[in-house]
């Protein structure tokens, strides 16, 4: 006979409730607990003894036997239903001191969770007490508690992601993948110690060759790998294009052009960045390579002629100010460089401009894109003429992917603006931008903190907050100050 499950009524807007529900779904093997969000639920119809206000104030549980339990009594009952943690419930029943500690803890959490929600911009919550700006201790208490609650999950997903990164890297290492009847070839570039980047963060290095045009041919440390691909590519390379001036995209522009007789095409803004003096930060220089000065180049213009047609050149500032993308309107292929970079936004480089990136994605989302080619090894498409390639082809409609990224960026901008209005510190704003509730936020936490550590904060979630405050006439710190000093603003 199936067991009638106990029902947990929880507040979907509360990060703590969400953390609890994540754990219940991980531990409740026998499905003895049914979790129902209060939002959109007719509580009185479920049980006439209950009303929404009381349920929002604290957690309520309806046991399988029909009892209604609130707060700590409810938590203790649920703990007893989960074999992995049932000893906690047993201990609380046996020892009054443990029971009191549990009750105090749940009371403290219940009292401070509304402060957290207010900081998260959920001021519409009934009964939310007003609070002077800057008084954040309940917020940090909540934030830290949530972090501890999720830490094992974060560690587990980080380990899993590192494993997946290693698998993808091994699958594609040095490979050349030909798609669209040979019109598009993606060459995976290797080198030591550049492999550290794909292994740690999943960003592999590639050069895309589209109908006789090579795009972003890697860094100086990947030259040998690029040379090995050259034989397989055949002749007839017409142009070598840089989408932007980051070192893993521009290290072999002249080198490849010298060997193939192709022209080097770049935007004037990118070419200006490739004139000395420039400085790649030490860590990136050591792992990825430095930027050789650009000897000869032609302005890329609005169109690039390919072997059989042409590519439109579209300005795409955001990831960097000089970024351009290439689009084949006939095929719906967008060669996006780094203008997409996954559906959520975290640990950007220190030269990101969030507002401009939103404007760029708005324009890209209006294009009829059927194949989105990223510079770091992924192709997003649902087209059936593109086969499944493990670790490369992502079966996702590129237009939807772009819209999702756009929504994520707009939400982050709203969080940053809200935080500014409330007078919060950058650290607190960062925490509100990455709440513990949504999976996209906590499952990347481990790798994002690793990126912060390795780059001493240059690639970090803090940069997301800063990216929405940048104006192109600001004086920027470190990398940006050096690298963009000579740049003409390419305009929005």
Residues contributing to the site for Zn ion (CB under 5 A) = 246, 338
The DSSP element (H or E) to which 304 belongs, if any, is strand 303-305
CA dist list (Å): 220 to 248, 293, 317, 361, 391: 8, 11, 24, 30, 25
Tokens in use for 420?
């500014």
Query: What is the Cα–Cα distance from 208 to 429, expressed in whole angstroms?
Result: 38
| Cβ 369 vs Cβ 378: under 8 Å | no
Shortest distance, position 172 Cβ to Zn ion, whole Å: 19
Tokens in use for 422?
């409330």
Shortest distance, position 348 Cβ to Zn ion, whole Å: 9
Decide whether 168 or 216 has the Cβ nearer to Zn ion.
216
Decide whether 279 or 417 has the Cβ nearer to Zn ion.
279
Decide whether 115 or 448 has the Cβ nearer to Zn ion.
448
Shortest distance, position 246 Cβ to Zn ion, whole Å: 3
Shortest distance, position 430 Cβ to Zn ion, whole Å: 22
Dihedral angle of Cα 466, 490, 484, 463, to the nearest 10 degrees: 20
Query: What is the Cα–Cα distance from 408 to 410, expressed in whole angstroms?
Result: 6
Shortest distance, position 244 Cβ to Zn ion, whole Å: 6
Decide whether 75 or 464 has the Cβ nearer to Zn ion.
464
| Cβ 282 vs Cβ 275: under 8 Å | no
Shortest distance, position 323 Cβ to Zn ion, whole Å: 8
Cα 2 from chain centroid (whole Å): 41
Shortest distance, position 338 Cβ to Zn ion, whole Å: 4
Decide whether 211 or 338 has the Cβ nearer to Zn ion.
338
Dihedral angle of Cα 480, 482, 483, 488, to the nearest 10 degrees: 90
Query: What is the Cα–Cα distance from 396 to 399, expressed in whole angstroms?
Result: 9
Q: Residue 124 contacts by C-beta under 8 Å, 6 or more apart in sequence?
A: none
Decide whether 142 or 321 has the Cβ nearer to Zn ion.
321
Cis omega before residue 203 (within 30°)?
A: no
Q: What order do you get walking across the sheet with 371-374 strand by strand?
A: 303-305, 310-315, 324-328, 333-337, 371-374, 379-381, 393-394
Shortest distance, position 253 Cβ to Zn ion, whole Å: 15
Shortest distance, position 241 Cβ to Zn ion, whole Å: 14
Decide whether 247 or 343 has the Cβ nearer to Zn ion.
247
Shortest distance, position 99 Cβ to Zn ion, whole Å: 55
Radius of gyration of the chain (CA): 26
Decide whether 322 or 338 has the Cβ nearer to Zn ion.
338
Decide whether 76 or 246 has the Cβ nearer to Zn ion.
246
| Cβ 151 vs Cβ 50: under 8 Å | no
Place of tokens 């100010």: 321
Decide whether 8 or 273 has the Cβ nearer to Zn ion.
273
| Cβ 243 vs Cβ 375: under 8 Å | yes
| Cβ 291 vs Cβ 285: under 8 Å | no
Tokens in use for 265?
């095409």
Shortest distance, position 459 Cβ to Zn ion, whole Å: 11
Decide whether 56 or 265 has the Cβ nearer to Zn ion.
265
Query: What is the Cα–Cα distance from 206 to 376, expressed in whole angstroms?
Result: 6
Decide whether 260 or 320 has the Cβ nearer to Zn ion.
320
Cis omega before residue 193 (within 30°)?
A: yes
Query: What is the Cα–Cα distance from 346 to 434, expressed in whole angstroms?
Result: 9
| Cβ 423 vs Cβ 134: under 8 Å | yes
Shortest distance, position 280 Cβ to Zn ion, whole Å: 12
């Amino acid at each position: 006979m199936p067991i009638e499950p106990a029902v947990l009524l929880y507040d979907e807007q509360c990060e703590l409730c969400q953390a609890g529900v994540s754990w219940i779904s991980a531990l409740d093997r026998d499905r003895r607990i049914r979790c129902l969000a209060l939002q959109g639920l007719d509580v009185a119809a479920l049980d006439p003894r209950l009303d929404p206000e009381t349920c929002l104030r604290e957690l309520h549980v309806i046991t399988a036997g029909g009892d209604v339990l609130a707060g700590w009594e409810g938590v203790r009952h649920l703990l007893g239903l989960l074999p992995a943690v049932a000893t906690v419930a047993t201990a609380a029943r046996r020892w009054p001191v443990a029971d009191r500690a549990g009750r105090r803890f749940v009371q403290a959490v219940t009292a401070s969770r509304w402060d957290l929600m207010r900081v998260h911009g959920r001021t519409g919550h009934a009964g939310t007490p007003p609070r002077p700006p800057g008084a954040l201790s309940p917020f940090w208490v909540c934030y830290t508690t949530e972090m501890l609650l999720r830490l094992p999950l974060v560690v587990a997903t980080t380990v899993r992601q590192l494993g997946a990164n290693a698998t993808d890297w091994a699958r594609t290492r040095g490979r050349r993948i030909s798609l669209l009847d040979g019109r598009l070839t993606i060459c995976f570039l290797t080198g030591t110690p550049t492999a550290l980047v794909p292994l740690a963060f999943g960003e592999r290095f590639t050069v895309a060759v589209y109908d006789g045009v090579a795009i972003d041919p890697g860094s100086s440390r990947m030259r040998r790998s690029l040379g090995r691909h050259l034989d397989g590519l055949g002749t007839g390379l017409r142009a070598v294009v840089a989408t932007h001036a980051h070192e893993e995209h521009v290290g072999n522009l002249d080198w490849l052009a010298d060997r193939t007789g192709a022209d080097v095409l770049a935007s004037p803004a990118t070419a200006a960045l490739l004139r000395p003096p420039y400085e790649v930060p030490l860590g990136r220089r050591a792992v990825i390579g430095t930027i050789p000065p650009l000897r000869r180049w032609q302005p890329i213009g609005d169109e690039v002629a390919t072997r059989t047609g042409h590519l439109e050149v579209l300005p795409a500032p955001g990831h960097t100010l000089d970024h351009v993308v290439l689009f084949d309107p006939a095929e719906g292929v967008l060669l996006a460089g780094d203008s997409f970079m996954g559906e959520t936004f975290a640990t950007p480089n220190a030269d990101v401009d969030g507002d401009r990136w939103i404007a760029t994605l708005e324009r890209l989302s209006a294009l009829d894109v059927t194949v989105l080619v990223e510079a770091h090894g992924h192709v997003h498409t649902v087209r059936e003429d593109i086969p499944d390639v493990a670790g490369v082809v992502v079966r996702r409609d590129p237009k939807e992917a772009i819209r999702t990224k756009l929504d994520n960026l707009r939400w982050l901008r709203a969080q940053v603006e809200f935080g500014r209005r409330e007078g919060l510190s950058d650290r607190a704003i960062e925490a509100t931008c990455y709440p513990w509730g949504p999976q996209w936020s906590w499952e990347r936490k481990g790798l994002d903190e690793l990126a912060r550590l390795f780059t001493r904060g240059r690639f970090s979630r803090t940069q997301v907050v800063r990216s929405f405050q940048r104006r192109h006439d600001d004086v920027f710190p470190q990398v940006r100050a050096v690298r963009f000093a000579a740049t003409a603003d390419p305009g929005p």
